[in-house]
Amino acid sequence: MTQQVYSDDPLADRQTGHYRMEYVTSFVDKWDELIDWAGRAESEGQFFIDILKARGKERVLDVACGTGFHSVRLTKAGFDVTAADGNAAMVAKAFENGQRHGLILKTAQADWRWLNRDIHGKYDAIICLGNSFTHLHEEQDRRRALAEFYAALKHDGVLILDQRNYDAMLDHGFSSKHKYYYCGDQVVAEPDHVDEGLCRMRYSFPDKSEFTLNMCPIRKDYMRNLFREAGFERVRTYGDFQETYAEDEPDFFIHVVEKS
Ligand code: SAM
């Protein structure tokens, strides 16, 4: 598939499984232009590496590997990483990017809703980054995915999951000052439409190509509560990698969630 698929009313496309119609090969091929590996590495620094090392974690499952940015970084930093994603084109691109960095990544295609069917063994840590979790439009799928993550973790495992600061977007509108936070400076990422049930992001590339993603704008406290209801004991939330932050300021929240 090369063209993104939406219905006649794209604002009505609010199904969890829809991500497969959005990450078509033409968009996957452009994703690295969007995320700009060097700029992203610089802006997040050692944050994830430090969190995992401080807890003595080694075996990491990247459940939303995308094109492999974190899988490659963490493998290079000495972690034993499995790169998984529900989208086959993403998994293939992650493997290719791993090779480009001299690595043979362990990869798997797995949808979070039935993760443990396709991924075996227990992990010290699961990462789900790049606002990926907000592809889940239905609450029962969010609960199901968290239950699957919980089951794939060892008894003292940690889940690191990030999300856009949708609270700020819903309550105060989108601030363009954060437009380039994790994007290359050539690509404009802006919401096309925002309501309580949908944040439709538009990505405009210098060659004039455009792609969209329909995400579910889940609020921070709602998400923190879901982790607790899934059985996780400790939930710590950072704002743009800082422990203290003004609620409206961060572009992203990063939840570090511990099983025990
Ligand atoms: N983590 C990567 C990054 O930060 O560059 C990719 C982020 S991209 C916004 C979201 C990824 O989540 C896509 O690669 C998509 O295929 C994957 N994804 C979305 N819903 C999924 C699901 N239900 N199961 C597995 N993967 C899913």
Q: What CA–CA distance (Å, rounded) separates 146 from 113?
A: 8
Ligand 1 center–CA 36 separation, angstroms: 17
Share of residues in the chain with pLDDT > 90 (%): 80
CA of 122 to the centre of ligand 1 (A): 21
Predicted pLDDT of residue 180: 45
CA-proximal residue: ligand 1, atom 4 (nearest):
130
User: Counting atoms of ligand 1 from 1, which one is nearest the CA of 132?
Assistant: 10
State which amino acid sits at residue 192: D
Tokens describing residue 167: 């609270």
- Asked whether this complex has an ipTM greater than 0.85, the answer is yes
Q: Can you tell me the mean pLDDT for 162-174?
A: 92
Query: pLDDT above 70 covers what percent of the chain?
Result: 96
